[in-house]
Amino acid sequence: MRTFKLQVQTTVDGYMAGPNGEMDWMTFPWTDDISAYIDALTEPVDCIVLGRHLAEGFIPTWAAQPEGETQESIDWMNNTPKVVISNSLTESPWDNAVVAGGDLAETVNKLKAQPGGDIITYGGGTLVSDLITKGLLDELHLFVNPTAIGAGMPVFPAGAYQRLRLVTARPFDCGITALHFEPKRS
């Protein structure tokens, strides 16, 4: 069975965006050590899962080849097949992306049962909350930025009780610390 990973940037106080979706708290520029870590994390990945709202910005941004990104990263983001989770879209308006709706657990379990490499999600917020609440993730990679914002969109929604086991904690030269967790399953 394929491994389903979450990679998300977060504040020290556990938010992935500010109250109005702000992300100006993120630490940049990244250093070579964090870039190498992310390369190793994504190397076995051959499928990206996105929520519809995130996909609307994410896919066109990478298709436009954003400045400051390596050509290797741009190619990987554009060439890796994507599954957009949506109950409002019936077909994908993007190249190299399909839409999947219906029951989230059923959709994710079908993806995980298919042959292939690992699967990664970057969000959006509703998708991350639902994946955590339903216990569908195999690994959580939280990239903790050295900033607290006090309010916003939490990584872990209210009522999403889940025990986690810390696999590794790795600080990087840019100030971000990666926390790699796996859910403790009974």
Structure tokens that stand for 86 in this block: 């949506």
Distance, in Å, from the CA atom of 74 to the CA atom of 104, rounded to the nearest integer, reads: 28
Instruction: Please report the pLDDT score of residue 47 as a whole number.
Output: 98
**What is the signed CA dihedral for 135, 136, 137, 138, rounded to 10 degrees?**
90
pLDDT tens string, the chain, 186 residues long: the values are 999 999 999 999 999 999 999 999 998 888 999 999 999 999 999 999 999 999 999 999 999 999 988 899 999 999 999 999 999 998 999 999 999 999 999 999 999 999 999 999 998 889 999 999 999 999 999 999 999 999 999 999 888 888 999 999 999 999 999 999 999 987
List, in sequence order, every residue forming a beta bridge with 184; answer none if it has no partner.
Answer: none
Classify residue 138 by burial, with Cβ atoms within 10 Å: 0-12, 13-18, 19+.
middle
Number of alpha carbons in the 13 Å side-chain half-sphere of residue 158: 1
Distance, in Å, from the CA atom of 121 to the CA atom of 45, rounded to the nearest integer, reads: 10
Instruction: Please report the pLDDT score of residue 159 as a whole number.
Output: 83
List, in sequence order, every residue forming a beta bridge with 47; answer none if it has no partner.
Answer: 119
Residues sharing a CB contact under 8 Å with residue 124, sequence separation 6 or more, in sequence order: 50, 51, 52, 53, 54
Q: Given this structure, which CATH class describes domain 4-183?
A: alpha beta
**pTM value?**
0.94
Instruction: Please report the pLDDT score of residue 137 as a whole number.
Output: 97
Question: Residue 60: what are its φ and ψ, rounded to 5°?
Answer: -65, -35
The distance of Cα 68 from the centroid of its chain, to the nearest Å, equals 20
Neighbouring CB atoms inside 10 A of 143's CB total: 21
Instruction: Please report the pLDDT score of residue 158 as a whole number.
Output: 86
Please say whether the beta carbons of 6 and 139 come within 8 A. yes
Nearest to 182 by CA among 143, 145, 144, 132: 132
